[in-house]
Amino acid sequence: MSDYFPRREFLKTAALAAAPALLKSQSPNDRLRVGWIATGSRGQFVMKQMYRLSKDSVTVTAVCDTYQGNLNAGKDIVQSNEPGHTPKTYVAYRDLLADPNVDVVFISSPEHLHFPMALQAIAANKHIYLEKPIAHTIEEGQQIVEASEKSGRVLQVGTQNRSNKLYIRAREMVQNGDIGEVHYVRAFWYRNFDAQADPTKTTPAAWRYVIPSDTTPENTDWQRFLEGSAHKNISFSPERYFQWRNYWDYSGGISTDLLVHQTDISNFVCNRTVPFSCMASGGVYQWGKEFHDDREVPDTFSAIYEYPDRFHLNYSCYFGNDQYGYGEQFMGHDGTIEVMDRQNLHFYPQPKFIKGHAPFTKQTELHLNYLKDFDQPDATADHVHNFLMAVLGKEKAIAPARAGQIAAIPGHLATLSYKTDHKTFWDPATNKVHYS
Ligand SMILES: NC(=O)c1ccc[n+]([C@@H]2O[C@H](COP(=O)([O-])OP(=O)(O)OC[C@H]3O[C@@H](n4cnc5c(N)ncnc54)[C@H](O)[C@@H]3O)[C@@H](O)[C@H]2O)c1
């Protein structure tokens, strides 16, 4: 058996030669000056995680959000973590990017706004932590990759599973040959919610988040929300603003909101890149018109991927039953590594097929718990820390723009397959999608 507890520190990479130089305005003892664009649910969570692990490396000099309630919430988190300090507040993200006291920006806006915000942040010479998916379309993601790689600045995509020590261990085990050749991965994400699209319920329908009672077109700045959207003349809709995941103009639904985490981690663990084909299928089964729910994106979804060199990913997602939760099963000829709910890793050998080994027993199974065995309460804090250390030239970013794009392309292929009812094919030579 291999040593499952090696002292390898995956992130303390030797590749520091490639890391960017310290910021010009910065002495090694200075804190990085952070500007935060969009302090909604994820923005607030990531900011707290940043303070949990990286408090000594940062000061948040500016926050920006178009909804006043979330702008205030972002400012409050800064003030409670940096007593006596008040960040500047902005409604227009371009003003934040023009602020000379911002070196590093976090972008946690809805998906359709990633593209304009990231491109402008790159143009403003900022280092960027950009939430997943990298962009709303393949073409936009490609432009971000190109601009980011030219810029010489760090861009980290918010695919934090890469910083989860369970997946780092799974990757080491696969590299070590512990499960033999891996041709097949099963990934799934199951959730359950009330059947009603009623946000006053304690568990409202999926992605029907509570709309604050003070919401108006003015205090949400509807026109700024529409910036990255294909349709600009839609009248004000609090549902679209606060529940944007349900509409194609702002989100790829399950494909780009959830699946990208799992294509990303399958790439990471199994050392794969982009699939050459995808076939997706599903629908709105849980909600819909009879529940007065105008969602456009499916709540029930499956996608089958074929990758070069004999690799297959079988993905399913359903919002009507959470019995099997969240997980990936990396299935090799000699064993299976299963990571469940990003909390537990199970290793099951396939004894009967292993030649030249003593028969495996139950003891050769391995079960690791994220908190107990790794003392890691949430990988987001580590992912942010890795980003900040990369900006300081001390580590290499684990999820650069290209990795984010490689994770997102399969998500987009699935959306396109679902919408067109065709199998989609990815041509890496031309960076184009073809249809069956
Ligand atoms: N990495 C993860 O595990 C993870 C988890 C959840 C969400 N996310 C990602 O985080 C992002 C945000 O998701 P969320 O759940 O926080 O959404 P949210 O709706 O809660 O927050 C979005 C925020 O953006 C603000 N906003 C809208 N338009 C703006 C504009 N033009 N300028 C400035 N602010 C604007 C809104 O007012 C809101 O506060 C998405 O890309 C999502 O995919 C990632």
The answer on 252 and 157 residing in a single domain is no
CA-closest residue to ligand 1 atom 28: 225
Structural domain of 219? 165-377+401-435
- Structural contact between residues 188 and 315, judged by C-beta atoms closer than 8 angstroms: yes
For ligand 1, atom 11, name the residue with the nearest CA: 108
Quote the tokens at residue 21.
Answer: 């130089």
Q: How far is the CA of 413 from the centre of ligand 1 (A)?
A: 23
Residue 225 has pLDDT above 50, yes or no: yes
Domain co-membership, 131 together with 197: no
* CATH number (domain holding residue 344): 3.30.360.10
Is 28 inside any structural domain? yes
Predicted local confidence at residue 28, as pLDDT: 43
Alpha-helical runs (H) found in 55-137: 68-81, 93-97, 114-123
Cα 91 to averaged position of ligand 1 atoms, centre (Å): 14
Can you give the pLDDT at residue 198?
57
Examine the domain organization and report whether 39 and 187 are in the same domain.
no
Q: Are residues 72 and 140 in the same domain?
A: yes
Q: Does residue 149 sit in the same domain as residue 200? A: no
Sequence-distant (≥ 6) Cβ neighbours of residue 389 within 8 angstroms: 57, 395
Percent of the chain with pLDDT over 70: 88
Q: Which atom of ligand 1 is nearest to the CA of 257?
A: 43
Q: How confident is the model at residue 289 (pLDDT cuts 50, 70, 90)?
A: confident
In a domain, 4, yes or no: no
Same structural domain, 150 and 203: no
Residues 77, 65 within the same domain: yes
> Is 134 within the bounds of a domain?
yes
Residue type, 46: V
State how many domains the chain has: 2
User: What's this model's pTM, rounded to 2 decimal places?
Assistant: 0.92
For residue 8, pLDDT beyond 70: no
Lowest average pLDDT, out of 20-34, 107-121, 144-158, 332-346, goes to 20-34
Q: What mean pLDDT do residues 249-255 have?
A: 98
pLDDT digits (tens, 9 = 90+) for 162-174: 999 999 999 999 9
- Residue 434 CA to ligand 1 center (angstroms) comes to 31
Cα 121 to averaged position of ligand 1 atoms, centre (Å): 17
β-strand 311-318 against 182-190: which pairing, if any?
Answer: parallel
- Given 108, 142, 162, which residue is the final one in a domain? 162
CATH number at residue 106: 3.40.50.720
Q: Give pLDDT, residue 195.
A: 63
Start-to-end CA span in the chain (Å):
45
In a domain, 221, yes or no: yes
One domain, residues 155 and 235: no
Best of 36, 89, 130, 131 for a ligand 1 pocket test (most atoms within 8 Å of beta carbon): 131
SS3 329: strand
- 235 and 317 assigned to the same domain: yes
Question: 34 pairs with which residues across the strands?
Answer: 60, 104
Q: Return contacts of 362-366, CB within 8 angstroms, 24+ apart.
A: 364/1, 366/4
pLDDT at 36 over 80: yes
The amino acid occupying position 120 is Q
CB 198 within 8 A of CB 205: yes
pLDDT of 29 strictly over 90:
no
Residue 229: predicted pLDDT: 94
Burial per residue of 81-97, b for 16 or more beta-carbon CB atoms within 10 angstroms, e otherwise: bbeeeebbbbeebeebb
- Residue 211 CA to ligand 1 center (angstroms) comes to 14
Find the residues whose C-beta lies inside 6 A of ligand 1.
Answer: 37-43, 64-67, 70, 93, 108-111, 113, 131-132, 158, 160, 224-225, 227, 242, 257
User: Is 150 in the same domain as 174?
Assistant: no
- Residue 420: pLDDT band (50, 70, 90) is very high
pLDDT digit string, tens, across residues 373-401: 999 999 999 999 999 999 999 999 999 99
Last residue of a domain, which of 110, 142, 162? 162
Mean pLDDT for the stretch of residues 99-122: 98
Q: Which of 36, 37, 42, 214 to mutate to test the pocket of ligand 1 (most atoms within 8 A of CB)?
A: 42
Look at the block and give the residue holding tokens 């500016």: 62
Atom of ligand 1 nearest to the CA of 114: 41
> Is the same domain home to 154 and 177?
no
Going from the Cα of 167 to the center of ligand 1, the distance in angstroms, rounded, reads 25
Last residue of a domain, one of 114, 130, 162: 162
Q: What single string gives the DSSP state of each residue in 254-307?
A: HIIIIIHHHHHHHHHHHT----SEEEEEEE--SSSGGGT----S-SEEEEEEEE
Is 108 within a domain? yes
